[in-house]
Structure formats: C-alpha cells, structure tokens
Amino acid sequence: MPRKLIISDSAGVCFGVEKAVTTAEEVLSQNSNKNVKSFGPLIHNPQVVDILKNKGLSVVDKIDKNEKGTIIIRAHGIPNYQEKNLEDSEVNVIDMTCPIVKKLQFAVKYLSDNNFFVVIVGNKKHPEVIGAKSYAKEGNVMVIKDKNELDTSVLKSKKIGVVAQTTIPKELFWDVVEIFETQNDYDIKAIDTLCDDINNKQIESKEIAKDVDIMFVIGGKNSSNTKEIADICKNVNKNTYQIETFKEIKELNMNLEDKIIGITAGASTPPWLIKQTIDGVLHDK
C-alpha cells in the first residue's frame, strides 16, 4: 500500500465537458430512434465516448446534405464553414462548443475583421485550433506552437493580433506576446483566450508532482490538455505517467509499496475513472 496519496483538487471534468456530456445523455434518452450524432468525438476521452456510443451516439466528421436527425457539436467547436453546412442541412443542431472556445473563435474573427494578422499560439492539428483558424480571413492567420516557431519575416502586416489555444500553458502565450511588445514597430493586440480551469490544473498538478515519488495523470491519450499537464509534471518529476485507466498502472508493474503517489486528471476525465484509479492504487484491485 502507498504511504500517502495526494489527489489534485482540480482534477477531472471542467464545466464545458460536463455540459456537453450531460446534454448528450439527455438527448439520447429522449431520442428512441437513436439518430443522434456528434460532430467529431464529443470530448477527448475514449472511455466516455465508448459509453455514449453504447447509448446510441455515433461520431461523424462531415455532414451530408440529406442528413437527418440530431447533430451535437463537440466541446472543441468546429470550423465556421462546417457550421454553415449544418445550417444548410435539415438536421437539428445542438451546439455544445464550450463558451471559452467560442471566445477564442470570436477573438479570431474580431481581430481579422479589424485587419489584424492573427497569430494563434497552439497545436495546428488540434480540432479547436483548426476551428478557430477558420474565423480569420484566408492567408491572414498563422499557428505557432511557441515563440521558437515565430518567424516574423512571414507576417503580412505590422498589425498583429495574438490569441491562444485555450489549454496551452500561460507562459507559451505571453512569451509570444512579449516578443511583439518588445519590438516597437508592431501594433499589437493580445486577447487572453486561455482557460482558467486548465491553468489551475497545470499549477496544482506541478506543485503535487514536485513532492511525490510517482505522479499519475489520468486522461485520454488524445486529450491535449491531459498531455500538457503530464508534460508539465514530467518536467519536475520524471516518474510521471499519463494513463487512461488503472489497468495501465497494473501493466507498468510498478512497486507502489510505501511510495508517495500523486494523482491528477485532465478536463475530460470523468470522476468514476479517477475513483477507479484511486481505489486501484490503494487496494491494488
């Protein structure tokens, strides 16, 4: 048995994910014909997506003109041209885009409409970033993962708007803003589009990771925010493991006896998966 277990208070589902999942469950319970789909995985947690699939939710990545039934837009949002396709179809649309992701989309649109060249700090392959990028005028937006990727020679304007993928660490965003602010020739407008819930998780998880022998970060392998938290923890504690379920801890065949264990979780990890991991670690079940 471990000597001590430290569990992050902020671990687990955020309000955006909770709302998306509970709404999907309500819609599924009201639709006996089960013609309910989500646009992309509703959230980035394979275990929850599987449960919803068993309740009748299928996942699509494009909409047919003749599409019928109900489509739930995922928490990460979708590109504006796909929203337009949805409007033009006959489907009943339930938009579960998180309000903070909406803020990012609006910020990109506002900056672009006001002739700023938009720099999005984030992962260019992430659905949230692909969606947000679509709100800028074509050719007037770039995505960089951090300040090292910033090549100011390719910017088409001295009027620069900077925003961030909601889940990246704060300093990645402000480091990029600082580069522009320290060069006088830019007219810069930075809009903070970061998610406070994720920021709290990152700060708290890092503090816990510093003090434990082993750190477990629970969340989908496809969850960007879980991976960010795991990377932050790994920087201060190399014994950090990102896992989806307790089964993976068993497979690691680790000796947890008399160890101080830290547990945190990403924003799409449900409470039952956290509990299962805690029970498993305590009782090795």
Which of 25, 26, 128, 244 is an active site residue?
Answer: 128
Q: Which of 11, 12, 17, 261 binds ligand SF4 (CB under 6 A)?
A: 17
- In whole angstroms, the minimum distance from the beta carbon of 204 to ligand SF4 comes to 14
Catalytic status, residue 128: yes
Positions 25 through 64 that interact with ligand SF4 (CB under 6 A): none
The nearer residue to ligand SF4, 134 or 193, going by C-beta atoms, is: 193
The answer to whether residues 280 and 238 touch, using CB atoms and an 8 Å cutoff, is no
Q: Does 72 bind ligand SF4 (CB under 6 A)?
A: no
Separation between Cα atoms, residue 141 and residue 162, nearest integer Å: 10
Positions 149 through 188 that interact with ligand SF4 (CB under 6 A): 166-167
Stated as kind and residue range, the H or E segment containing 76 is: none
Mind spelling out the 3-state secondary structure of 222-237? CCHHHHHHHHHHHHHC
Q: Which two tokens stand for residue 197?
A: 């819930």
The answer to whether residues 123 and 76 touch, using CB atoms and an 8 Å cutoff, is no
Q: Does 71 bind ligand SF4 (CB under 6 A)?
A: no
Q: Does 223 bind ligand SF4 (CB under 6 A)?
A: no
Alpha-carbon dihedral sign for residues 152, 153, 159, 165? negative
Q: Which residue sits closest to ligand SF4, CB atoms considered?
A: 16
Q: Does 121 bind ligand SF4 (CB under 6 A)?
A: no
The nearer residue to ligand SF4, 16 or 169, going by C-beta atoms, is: 16
Which span (65-73, 97-105, 109-117, 150-158) binds ligand SF4, by CB under 6 A?
Answer: 97-105
Mind spelling out the 3-state secondary structure of 102-126? HHHHHHHHHHHHCCCEEEEECCCCC
Q: Does 197 bind ligand SF4 (CB under 6 A)?
A: yes
Q: Which of 75, 96, 119, 176 binds ligand SF4 (CB under 6 A)?
A: 75
- Give residue for tokens 């993928």: 165
Interacting residues of 54 by C-beta distance below 8 A, sequence separation 6+: none
Which residues is 29 bridged to in the sheet? none
Q: Does 226 bind ligand SF4 (CB under 6 A)?
A: no
Q: Which of 27, 48, 198, 229 binds ligand SF4 (CB under 6 A)?
A: 198
Task: Give phi and psi for 118, each to the nearest 5.
Answer: -95, 130
- The SS3 call for residue 261 is strand
The nearer residue to ligand SF4, 174 or 246, going by C-beta atoms, is: 174
**Count of positions on this chain that bind ligand SF4 (CB under 6 A):** 15
Q: Which two tokens stand for residue 21?
A: 């999942």
Which one, of 138, 196, 188, 127, lies nearest residue 163 by Cα? 188
Which residues is 144 bridged to in the sheet? 121
The nearer residue to ligand SF4, 16 or 180, going by C-beta atoms, is: 16
Which span (83-91, 142-150, 181-189, 192-200) binds ligand SF4, by CB under 6 A?
Answer: 192-200
Q: Does 225 bind ligand SF4 (CB under 6 A)?
A: yes
* Chain residues in the site for ligand SF4 (CB under 6 A): 14-17, 75, 98, 100-101, 166-167, 195, 197-198, 225, 267
Which residues are marked as active site?
128
